[in-house]
Amino acid sequence: MFGYDKDDATALEAISWAQTICFAPMLFKSAVLLKRLGIFAALKAAHHTSGLTTAELAQQTGLSAYAVGVLLDMGLSGRMVIEDDQGRFSLTKTGSFLLDDRMCSINLDFTEDVCYQALDQLEASLKAGRAEGLKVFGFDDGLIYPHLSSLPEPARSSWFTYDHFYSDAAFAPALRLISALNPRHIFDVGGNTGRFAQAALHAFPEVQVTIVDLKEQIELAQRELSQQERNHCEQDQSFASRLSFAAVNVLEDKPFPRGADLWWMSQFLDCFAPEEIVAILKRVHAALPETGTLCILELFPDAQRFAAAALALNATSLYFTALANGNSRFYRSSDFIALVEKAGFKLHARHDNLGLGHTLLLCHKA
pLDDT of residue 77: 98
pLDDT tens digits along 186-210: 999 998 888 899 999 999 999 999 9
How far CA 29 is from CA of 74, 122, 286, in Å, comes to 10, 18, 49
Q: Is 171 helix (H, G, I), strand (E, B) or coil?
A: helix
Determine the pLDDT at residue 69: 98
Q: What percent of the chain has pLDDT over 70?
A: 97
pLDDT of residue 238: 74
Three-state DSSP class for residue 31: helix
For the domain made up of 11-99, give the CATH fold: Arc Repressor Mutant, subunit A (1.10.10)
More confident residue, 222 or 266: 266
Nearest to 349 by CA among 279, 303, 294, 305: 294
Q: Where are the domains of the chain?
A: 11-99, 168-304+328-365
Q: What is the pLDDT of residue 228?
A: 59
Report how far residue 280's alpha carbon sits from residue 343's, in angstroms, rounded to the nearest whole number: 8
11-99 matches 168-304+328-365 in fold: no
Q: Please tell me the CATH code under which domain 168-304+328-365 is placed.
A: 3.40.50.150
Confidence of residue 177 (pLDDT cuts 50, 70, 90): very high
Model's pTM, two decimal places? 0.92
Q: Dump pLDDT digits (tens) for 211-221.
A: 998 888 888 78
Cβ-based burial of 48 (10 A; exposed 0-12, middle 13-18, buried ≥19): exposed
Please tell me the predicted confidence (pLDDT) of residue 222: 83
pLDDT at 231 over 70: no
- Torsion, Cα 301 304 306 308, to 10 degrees, reads -30
pLDDT for res 227: 62
Cβ neighbours, 10 Å, residue 138: 10
Q: What is the pLDDT of residues 301-333, one digit of tens each?
A: 999 999 999 999 999 999 999 999 999 999 999
> Each residue of 98-146: pLDDT tens digit?
999 999 999 999 999 999 999 999 999 999 999 999 999 999 998 998 8
Average pLDDT for 61-68: 98
Q: Work out the pLDDT band at 234, boundaries 50, 70, 90.
A: very low
**What backbone phi and psi angles, to 5 degrees, belong to 92?**
-90, 175
**The amino acid at 58:** A
Mean pLDDT value of segment 43-61:
95
